[in-house]
């Protein structure tokens, strides 16, 4: 039964059909599939499957990331309220677009993927200064700062990741707070994350969310 | 003397010439070149034209641009706030469409040529026409119908509407965008642009799934092109890849020039095009920022070796980031001019 459910759900994601994906999930719950199984055996593996799709065949578009992130987030949220034993959050992080950057899509997809993985996310918004990133992380007790940038100057500029690094260094916070970056320029230059002194990067939001989870759980990468 | 225009024509027709054409798209460098603040620079078509001519003399590439920034198209539709930066391109700051309810009221100006936002572009084009017209291809940039909503409402809101919203509203918005598209192409042609870069990330399977491309994007591409004809049109996915869609676009529209992404394999692109159109191989100008002169030369050589044999090839850049050091632009140009030479030279 689960195999069929997984197939139907994955097909709906590939077709960017939100209504069908939600229908498939609701029908399954009605048939008695547990909310835990939906999250851990259907929703999260589907996101991982999309990572494989992307790395193996380059075969998942931004639209599919976007819809998958939205659906995964919605379903996880809904299922969490019905878990037999309340699930604990896996940690909290802050995210924002770097200074000068107003492009929200990448960040929104990443947020969806993180929440689907039961990670709390504080959205610092667009056009966030380096100061605000660090302040945000301290205020919300976040061990990770995630920075999205769609342009070269907002990725490389002194007020972006480099600025965050400088402040973390000056304030001796580097052991406590790690920085992960992503967005279009990083996909064109796979060494750019090192140039801007980030601790990690990911090529897409699904992989990014999994990496954040590993970082939070202290799994060595 | 062979002109840049001759080179482009020879590359399109596959006839002999001294070398392949080299397009170097220097947009964000203009204000720096003129020593001006971006906001002031972009408000003056004469300055934009002057910068294009100065950089042309400096680097010796084969094209000039009338593009200020893509957000200009949003200004035509009523956008009243652009965010300027000293070290990068301007961006739309206020979206014209803030909620779905704004769509029915959205108006395409009757006469875009008299719109202040277009007028400076026309002024720039006229100067370029006067100075290098007929000798150097003058390029204009126009966003495709399917992609234009991204700068009117933001990419995330557009994806939401397109994939999850009411189809009637999407259709209404696209009709308006198509109307603007057609007006823009006609206006740029009248102003004297030779090359019309048709920018359509939604016509790449990096952005939308193949099924969606076939059912939704491709019909709009056909409609756009049927309305304006293929003269001077260049298919471009905003640096998203296009090898997976080239054959279909070519067969269904007859567009004669394909401006690949650095993410596309040039050899594969040429195979797909198979002599039916001009292939433009595009350097990864984001990596270029940090490459050494040797790396640049090596990469240009590799790209041209993959694209030049058999003709109908152009070497190009993306929208060169302002962070690329001048010596690196020169190193790229030198290599492209050298490796781009043909054995047979025109008399
Ligand atoms: C679609 C597109 C457009 C559209 C829509 C733009 C918009 N959003 O407003 C149009 C055609 C209008 C356009 C215009 C412009 N564009 Co454009 N555009 C693109 C394109 C093709 C895709 C960008 C996009 O929206 N992707 C969708 C997002 C979600 O993808 P993403 O950012 O890669 O995010 C994914 C991952 O990177 C990751 N991720 C994202 N953030 C994070 C964060 C973390 C922490 C992690 C782990 C992961 C992660 O997850 C996401 C999903 O998996 C790219 C090229 C490309 N192939 O990427 C160029 C690109 C972004 N554009 C570029 C530029 C320059 C522009 C302009 C500024 C040009 C100009 N001079 O006017 C304008 C700006 C318009 C404006 N806003 O005013 C450049 C930027 C590089 C640079 N030179 O600085 C690019 C890279 C093209 C290039 N190679 O030159 N563009």
- Report the pLDDT averaged over residues A116-138: 97
Helix (H) or strand (E) holding B314: strand B313-319
Q: Assess A22–B contact: CB distance below 8 Å, yes or no.
A: no
User: How many angstroms separate the CA of residue A188 from the nearest CA in chain B?
Assistant: 6
Looking at residue A53, its pLDDT comes to 75
Instruction: Check residue B313 and give left, alpha or beta (phi > 0: left; psi -120 to 50: alpha).
Output: beta
pLDDT of A89 reads 86
pLDDT given for residue A56 in this prediction = 64
ipTM entry: 0.95
Q: Do B208 and A15 touch (CB under 8 A)?
A: no
What is the model's pLDDT at position B347? 39
Ligand 1 atom with the smallest distance to the CA of A205 is 50
Q: What angle do CA A41, A44, A50 make, to 5 degrees?
A: 115
Give yes or no for residue A144 having a pLDDT over 50.
Answer: yes
Q: Which residues of A touch B321 (CB under 8 A)?
A: 152-153
The atom of ligand 1 lying closest to the CA of A103 is 8
Q: In the predicted model, what is the mean pLDDT of residues A19-25?
A: 94
pLDDT band at A58 (very low <50, low <70, confident <90, very high): low
Looking at residue B91, its pLDDT comes to: 98
More confident residue, A156 or A1: A156
Q: Using a CB-CB distance cutoff of 8 angstroms, which residues of chain B are in contact with residue A157?
A: 87-88
* CB count in 10 Å sphere of residue B255: 18
To the nearest whole number, what is the mean pLDDT of chain A?
Answer: 93
CA-based torsion, B176, B177, B180, B182: positive or negative: negative
Q: Return the pLDDT at B17.
A: 96
Taking the centre of ligand 1 as the mean of its atom positions, its distance from the CA of residue A183, in whole angstroms, is 7
Residues A92-117: what's their mean pLDDT? 96
Chain B interface mutation, best of A73, A152, A195, highest count of B Cβ atoms under 10 Å: A152
Q: Quick one: which atom of ligand 1 is closest to the CA of A185?
A: 86
Question: What number of other Cβ atoms are within 10 A of residue A56's Cβ?
Answer: 8
CB-based contact (8 Å) between A18 and chain B? yes
Per-residue pLDDT, A202: 96
Chain B residue with Cα closest to A204: B206
Average pLDDT score, chain B: 97
Provide the percentage of residues in chain A whose pLDDT is more than 90: 85
Interface touch B286/A14, C-beta < 8 Å: no
The pLDDT assigned to A49 comes to 86
Mean pLDDT to the nearest integer, A158-171: 98
Per-residue pLDDT, B345: 43
The pLDDT tens digits of the residues spanning B121-168 come to: 999 999 999 999 999 999 999 999 999 999 999 999 999 999 999 999
Å from CA of B280 to ligand 1 middle? 21
What is the set of domains in chain B, with CATH numbers? 4-339 (3.20.20.210)
Which domains does chain A show, CATH number per domain?
2-80 (1.10.1240.10), 92-217 (3.40.50.280)
Does residue B175 register a pLDDT over 50?
Answer: yes
**pLDDT, tens digit, for every residue of B30-74?**
999 999 999 999 999 999 999 999 999 999 999 999 999 999 999
**Interval A103-120 mean pLDDT:** 96
With tokens 């170097």, the residue in question is B24
pLDDT-wise least confident of A48-62, A202-216, B63-77, B91-105: A48-62
When pLDDT is averaged across residues B185-211 and rounded to a whole number, the result is: 97
Grade residue B346 by pLDDT with cuts at 50, 70 and 90: very low
What is the Cα–Cα distance from B61 to B289, expressed in whole angstroms?
19
Q: What is the pTM of this model?
A: 0.96
Rounded average pLDDT over A100-107:
97
């Amino acid at each position: 039964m689960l195999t069929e459910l997984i197939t139907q759900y994955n097909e709906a994601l590939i077709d960017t059909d939100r209504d069908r994906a939600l229908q498939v999930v609701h029908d399954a719950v009605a048939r008695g599939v547990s909310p835990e199984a939906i999250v851990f055996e259907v929703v999260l593996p589907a996101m991982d499957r999309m990572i494989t799709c992307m790395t193996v065949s380059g075969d998942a578009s931004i639209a599919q990331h976007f819809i998958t992130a939205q659906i995964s987030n919605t379903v996880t949220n809904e299922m969490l309220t019905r878990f037999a034993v309340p699930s604990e959050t896996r940690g909290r992080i802050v995210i924002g677009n770097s200074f000068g950057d107003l492009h929200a899509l990448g960040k929104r997809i990443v947020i969806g993927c993180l929440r689907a993985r039961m990670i709390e996310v504080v959205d610092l918004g667009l056009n966030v200064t380096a100061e605000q990133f660090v302040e945000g992380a301290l205020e919300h007790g976040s061990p990770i700062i995630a920075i999205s940038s769609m342009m070269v100057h907002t990725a490389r500029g002194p007020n972006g990741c480099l600025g965050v690094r400088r402040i973390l260094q000056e304030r001796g916070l580097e052991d406590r707070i790690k920085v992960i970056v992503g967005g279009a320029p990083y996909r064109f230059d796979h060494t750019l994350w090192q140039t801007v002194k980030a601790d990690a990067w990911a090529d897409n939001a699904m992989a990014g969310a999994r990496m954040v989870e590993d970082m939070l759980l202290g799994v060595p990468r | 003397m062979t002109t840049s225009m001759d080179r482009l024509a020879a590359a399109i027709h596959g006839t002999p010439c001294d070398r392949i054409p080299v397009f170097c798209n220097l947009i964000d460098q203009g204000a720096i070149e003129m020593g001006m603040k971006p906001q002031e620079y972009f408000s003056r078509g004469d300055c934009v034209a002057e910068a294009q001519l100065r950089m042309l003399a400096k680097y010796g590439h084969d094209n000039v641009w009338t593009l200020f920034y893509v957000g200009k198209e949003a200004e035509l539709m009523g956008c009243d706030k652009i965010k300027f930066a000293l070290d990068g391109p301007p961006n739309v700051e206020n979206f014209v469409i803030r909620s779905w309810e704004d769509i029915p009221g959205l108006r395409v100006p009757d006469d875009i040529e008299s719109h202040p936002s277009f007028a400076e572009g026309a002024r720039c084009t006229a100067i370029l026409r006067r100075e290098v017209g007929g000798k150097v291809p003058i390029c204009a940039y126009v966003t495709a119908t399917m992609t234009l909503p991204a700068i009117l409402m933001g990419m995330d809101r557009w994806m939401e509407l397109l994939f999850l919203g009411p189809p009637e509203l999407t259709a209404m918005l696209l009709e308006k965008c198509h109307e603007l598209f057609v007006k823009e192409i006609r206006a740029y042609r009248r102003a004297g642009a030779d090359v019309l870069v048709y920018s359509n990330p939604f016509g790449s399977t990096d952005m939308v799934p193949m099924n969606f491309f076939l059912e939704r994007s491709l019909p709009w591409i056909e409609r756009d092109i049927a309305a304006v004809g293929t003269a001077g049109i260049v298919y471009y996915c905003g640096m998203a890849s296009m090898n997976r869609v080239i054959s279909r676009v070519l067969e269904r529209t007859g567009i004669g020039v394909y401006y690949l992404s650095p993410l596309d394999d040039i050899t594969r692109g040429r195979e797909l095009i198979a002599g039916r159109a001009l292939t433009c191989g595009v350097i990864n100008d984001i990596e270029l920022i940090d490459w050494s002169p040797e790396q640049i030369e090596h990469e240009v050589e590799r790209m041209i070796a993959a694209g030049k044999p058999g003709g109908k090839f152009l070497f190009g850049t993306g929208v060169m980031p302002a962070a690329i050091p001048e010596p690196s632009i020169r190193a790229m140009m030198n290599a492209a001019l050298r490796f781009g030479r043909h054995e047979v030279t025109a008399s």
